[in-house]
Structure 1
Amino acid sequence: MSLATRRFSATAAAAVAGTISAFARRPLLGAAAAFAALLLAPCLAAAADAPGAAQIERGRYLAKVANCAACHTSPGGAPFAGGLPLKTGVGTVYSTNITPDAESGIGAYTFEEFDRALREGVAKHGKRLYPAMPYPSYARLAEPDVQALYAYLRTEVKAVRQETAEPEMRWPFGMRWLLRVWNWLFLETGPARNDASQSAAWNRGAYLVQAVAHCGACHTPRGALMAEKGLDERSRHFLAGASVEGWASTNLRGDPRTGLGSWSREDIAEYLHTGRNAHATSFGPMSEVIASSTQFMSRPDLDAVAVYLKSVPGARSDETPYVYEAGTADMLAQGRFDATGARQYAEFCMPCHGANGKGFARVFPPLAGNPTVVDPDPSSLANLLLDGAVTAHVGTAATDYHMPGYGWTLDNQELANVLTFIRTGWGNRASPVTEGAVAARRAELDRRRDTAERR
């Protein structure tokens, strides 16, 4: 039902109710009025329960920040109809249909059933959901926000009939009753904690990061049973970086080299809004998150997230601030390619990132001191050199930028050499990359391409 139709229905229902009330005051028409009231009662109740425009718009905004469409839309599929394969450490699950279709979606869900699925991981008829759906984070959502999401999905999203494929899990994880035990061990119910000692902006940022945007689902390492090792800043594991489907998700804590210690609040807000800042340019899954979600966040919410993230201390106590070293730049500027990987860097990387490794701000990211470059897990860098990348498609930029992949022309050892050169140059001092690590990434990327083509 469109917004205009809902307004008309509510107005019409009010007018009919007033007419019935007027007739009811006339004795000869009292019985007819009562009979009419019985007939119109369902219509009046529906009009009274219809969500308002403000609530629906709030739900639309929350769905953007939570990036619901990204996980609940398969490539080439209808929005929110599900079917996207989500790979976990114990198998593959497929996102569910959350359109208002009564048979395969949430059209027959009451609010209470929707709320239980979202915040407790229990679908209609008691079916347990796998925590690939981030209900451990959504457990902290405030009920008015859950109501707004329910109103938006039920009234503004087009209903699509599409059944959800069965998960492909390793034994014994296909037995859903185990999720009851998992929830007992790891699910913390109740709204997000409000810290009275912090500012309103900090508390808003904590709520967005921990609950709505569920940043920890990707940026927090998981234990043996696939539960996040921390759910808020009180845990040193929270937002400390993790591995997600072959990508190294960045450390979002205050570590000076591998985290956001050198970023200002303005840097964080700019990156989430535009996909670029003086320190980095988005790539891989984060480009998708920015394009479909964080670029639409309001300025106060972007600032709140930045306030919160800058308050989270570093996780690595022995990490020292990055200090630029000019030796690599001098060697390249002089045309000396003695170091292993230097020649490949000069040929394939230096035209964009420069001999000094500083790139061009907000276009080609710096490699010197970049947290992604010095991440202990080099998987993301290997993916970039193998397959290339694209920046986030955002409304603030005239175009997005593509980095070409070099897997077609460089072998695994050559790629490992240039990655090691980048990770150890300009003062980065990160660990070298082995040929085996690149080979593993190449094999995984090839396997995923083959799987996608078969579909």
Structure 2
Amino acid sequence: MKNMLKGLGAALCVALPFLAQAPADAATPAGAGAADQALVQRGAYLAQLGDCAACHTAPKGKPFAGGLPMNTPMGRIYVTNITPDAQTGIGGYTEADFARALREGVAKDGHNLYPAMPYPSYAKVNDDDVKALYAFFMHGVAPVQQANRESDIKWPLNMRWPLMFWNMAFLQKGAYRDKPGKDVAWNRGAYLVQGLGHCGSCHTPRGVAFQESALDESGSAFLSGALLDGWFASNLTGEHNAGLGRWSDEDLRTFLKSGANRHASAFGAMTSVINNSTQALSDQDIAAMSAYLKSLPPVGGDGAAAYTYDPQATKVSLDRPANDAGARVYTAYCMHCHGVDGRGFAPMLAPLAGNPNVLAKDASSLINVTLNGTGDLVINGVPSPFPMPGFAAVLDDKQIADVLSFVRAGWNNGAPAGVGAAEVAKLRQSTQAGR
């Protein structure tokens, strides 16, 4: 199970900005002058911060031309073309149109956007940053004529007008305001995490109406972890086992820049976030995000004592693997990368002992990554040499359940519960569909 348990968070960004089509007769704005290049470059940086490319660029597709399928509780939707093409993109959007779509979830033609697009987070983006983003998308992105695809959501769930009432109930308008008593770095970090970074879109639990349970640190559920599209996006609070409580500031900064540290490695959608977004951020912004996240109090724990490493009982099981079905699978498929001691070879190969994803109450990410593996981390153009392969074709449901139960109990992990074969079968069916 190479690089199994990659991740501070899975599926950090299922953002879906600008679910809209520009009218066919819209004119493409004229090119930016030399005086505007600094603004365009600033917008390019902000687009990386918002990880726009990850959602709006399909595999092997042209940048920002859309077409990527994404699953929602209502059905599959397809991200749209946000290049400045006049017919199929957003070339006809004025800056006011752009700002309204970004921060209020309303397209140029007046229809409401699905809340899979994180406009409740983008509502906090300030005017200067909106202006820079607009400049980038209009003058720094090549126009691509590529028609948008209708969603697979069936009537009546595909009707948009009820979203007006959703916005009235859950959208909090207004750009982020600095919190009194907090320093510059903390406020910058809060602005980035809550706003363009839209971390809460994946890492905060959602209510029955698909609304985030909290939009900032004033809500106890904020960034406490959430199940999303077959992955469990990790707890980002100070919780000491499944969260960031045992991570130093340096650990967190290293993870955001490289996707791996001594505790875990990125997997699932978080791989894309590292590849397309956080590795490109300035050291100052990375430090600010870390300062803010490290300030969050612990939430979402199960009351267990803080993790301490103890290899002895697991070593005995691995010495006699015939006595434990999970140990037999681990010995055959996992031990050569993750070790008898469960510590792997961090940061190249993820540890399993004390890994926050192993200790989480929800084992979905562990099942998913074991079945399907994960994409390459690509840092400074260099792919990771040891990506996690998928074992869906190699191990049956019971074998995967056995080995994950073994891992969750091993090395004193003491995770809340084992893994059942039925859980594996359910995720196998949902994640392998269409492959």
| Amino acid aligned to 1:211 | G
TM superposition shift of 1:47? 9.4
Alpha carbons of structure 1 residues 327 and 160: separation in structure 2 relative to 1, 3 Å: same
Q: Within 5 A, what are the aligned runs for 1:26-425?
A: 52-316=36-300, 318-332=303-317, 334-395=319-380, 399-425=384-410
Q: Give the Cα–Cα distance (whole angstroms) in 1 for the partners of residues 420 and 315 of structure 2.
A: 26
TM superposition shift of 1:214? 0.5
Alpha carbons of structure 1 residues 257 and 413: separation in structure 2 relative to 1, 3 Å: same
2:423 alignment partner in structure 1:
437
TM superposition shift of 1:385? 1.6
1:428 alignment partner in structure 2:
413
SS in 2 for 1:306: helix
Q: Give the Cα–Cα distance (whole angstroms) in 1 for the partners of residues 177 and 297 of structure 2.
A: 18
SS in 2 for 1:93: strand
Check conservation: 1:328, 1:356, Cα contact below 8 A: no
SS in 2 for 1:415: helix
Check conservation: 1:93, 1:132, Cα contact below 8 A: no
Unpaired runs of 5+ in structure 1? Answer: 1-45, 450-455
**What TM-score do the two structures reach when normalised by structure 1?**
0.85
What is the total number of aligned residue pairs between the two structures?
405
SS in 2 for 1:320: coil
Check conservation: 2:54, 2:276, Cα contact below 8 A: yes
SS in 2 for 1:308: helix
Q: Give the Cα–Cα distance (whole angstroms) in 2 for the partners of residues 360 and 177 of structure 1.
A: 52
TM superposition shift of 1:338? 2.2
| Amino acid aligned to 1:448 | G
Of residues 331-340 and 267-276 in structure 1, the stretch that sits farther from structure 2 once superposed is 331-340
Check conservation: 1:86, 1:132, Cα contact below 8 A: no
Q: Give the Cα–Cα distance (whole angstroms) in 2 for the partners of residues 161 and 328 of structure 1.
A: 61
Q: Give the Cα–Cα distance (whole angstroms) in 2 for the partners of residues 100 and 406 of structure 1.
A: 42
Check conservation: 1:117, 1:123, Cα contact below 8 A: yes
| Amino acid aligned to 1:362 | P
| Amino acid aligned to 2:91 | G
Unpaired runs of 5+ in structure 2? Answer: 1-29
1 or 2, which has the higher helix percentage? 1
TM superposition shift of 1:334? 3.3
Q: Deviations over 1:341-372 (max 9, x none)?
A: 11111111111111111111101111111111
- Output the aligned Cα RMSD: 1.9
Q: Give the Cα–Cα distance (whole angstroms) in 1 for the partners of residues 406 and 36 of structure 2.
A: 58
Check conservation: 2:317, 2:323, Cα contact below 8 A: no
Check conservation: 1:275, 1:391, Cα contact below 8 A: no
TM superposition shift of 1:66? 0.4
SS in 2 for 1:402: coil
TM superposition shift of 1:274? 0.6
TM superposition shift of 1:393? 0.9
Greater RCO between the two (CA within 8 Å, min separation 6)? 2
Q: Deviations over 1:200-230 (max 9, x none)?
A: 0000111111001111111111111111111
**What TM-score do the two structures reach when normalised by structure 2?**
0.89
TM superposition shift of 1:389? 2.5
Check conservation: 1:274, 1:397, Cα contact below 8 A: no
Alpha carbons of structure 1 residues 133 and 436: separation in structure 2 relative to 1, 3 Å: same
Percent of matched pairs sharing the same residue: 47
Alpha carbons of structure 1 residues 336 and 48: separation in structure 2 relative to 1, 3 Å: closer
TM superposition shift of 1:330? 2.7
